[in-house]
Structure formats: C-alpha cells, structure tokens
Amino acid sequence: MTERGHAAVRRDSDNLEIGASAVRWTGNALEIEIEERDKRLGVPWQRRVCGKVRVIPEALNPTAFALDPAGRHRWHCLAPRARVEVQMDQPCLRWSGAGYLDSNFGSEALEDGFRVWHWSRAHTRRGSAVCYEGIRRDGAAFASTLRFGADGTPEQEELPLVAPLPNTVWQMERKTRADHGHAGVIKTWEDGPFYARSRLHSRLFGEEVVAVQESLDLDRLISPVVQFMLPYRMPRIA
C-alpha cells in the first residue's frame, strides 16, 4: 500500500482510482482492482501485487450513525453481510467466504475526535451483530450494539458485558462485548503499534459466534515515534 498525491486520484459516484488500483461499484458488487508494487523501504526489489476482490452484499443498510454529539464523525455499515471473492494473480491466491463492508467518514481527522476505539462484528444465524465503543478526544466514553436482520435493518440492542482480551505483542489493549463477559482470541491477524485486528470466539445473544475484532489507539498513531515509522511501512509518493 502506497500513499499518493491528489493528482493520482480520480473519482465519481461509482468509481475511485488511486494510481493503478481502483474500486468500482457495479450495481450489485464492489470490485477492487489491485495493481501495486511492494515498495517498502530497505527492500531492494519491488514485488508486484495484483488481482481482484469482489464484495457482494447479501444485505444493504441505508442508515449511517453519528459517533459524536456534533456529528463530525459518522459510521455506515453498508453491508452487514456479504460474500467476498478474492482472485490474486501475484501472489497466486484464490479465496471466498463471508464478509462485511462499512465506512467511516467525517469533517475532521479521526485523531482529533477520538483517543481509542474497539469494534467487533459477528455473523449470526439470522443476520449479524456489531459492537462499537471507544473514548472520544474530550474523554467521554461511547458504546453501542446493533443487530442487523437478514434484510440489513438495524436495531439497537442492550450492551452485552465487556469481555477483556489479552494485549497484543505491541501491548495494544483489546476488548469486545459478549454474553457473560467471556471471549477468546483465535488468531491475531494484524499486530501493530497502534492497530490490532483479530479473530475471536464468543457468545452473543445466546448464540456461539466467530467474530472479527479491531482495536485502534489514536494517541499512539500521532506519537512522533509512530509517525517516524509509518513511511517504512507505507511509502509516500508525491
């Protein structure tokens, strides 16, 4: 993944192109075309990364939710349930399975509005459930749990108990919500100094589920040490 300048970005209502890669809405699926080079600093070669990902919604939700009283930050669970098809040419990979699609957007940077947040999503027999909580920049806490029906309609639910999770190798704090406050980590997919993404087993609303969970520490993100490290992970092209 490479950061690029505004001249490399083109968009309209159904398309977003960034460099040679693109995201397109076809009317029934989101198609992600990847054409990149692995340009991490310190790596003497540039490995090609290319392929296509299709996200096919099984349900669509038209409602976005404000994450702060002023409405500067909004979260939209576009597809509470989706099917994902991955066809990579370089490296050669094929995969398909259950997925999800959401979006965060707002009028200020995330780090200006929040200090930390935790999010998790689980598919259930009749739909899906999303737990979202964190601490805003002013120190106020927020939390909500939504259940989405098979047609994508959201309903607010009473918050399950907090389920603490073990810290990551980078000592990122993680937590989720679950019946009786118990959940466990199956696998940690992403473990960084300010972000972690994991696969969990837990119980929600009386049902055993496998969940995807993420934790984000925005105080860590804006620290000078992390800002110094970021270009080594994601090079910038003017």
| pLDDT > 60? residue 90 | yes
Q: pTM to 2 decimals?
A: 0.88
**DSSP at 158:** P
Q: Provide the residue count of the chain.
A: 238
Q: What is the pLDDT of residue 238?
A: 57
Per-residue CA distances from 171 to 217, 223, 232 (Å): 11, 15, 21
pLDDT band for position 19 (cuts 50, 70, 90): very high
| pLDDT > 70? residue 47 | yes
> What is the torsional sign of CA 35, 39, 45, 47?
negative
pLDDT digits (tens, 9 = 90+) for 157-208: 999 999 999 999 999 999 999 999 999 999 999 999 999 999 999 999 999 9
Q: What is the pLDDT of residue 42?
A: 55
Q: Tell me if 110 sits within 8 A of 218, measured CB to CB.
A: yes
Query: What mean pLDDT comes out for the span 110-130?
Result: 95
Pairing of strands 3-4, 236-237: parallel
Of the candidates 211, 189, 208, 209, which has an alpha carbon nearest to the alpha carbon of residue 200? Answer: 211
Amino acid found at 118: H
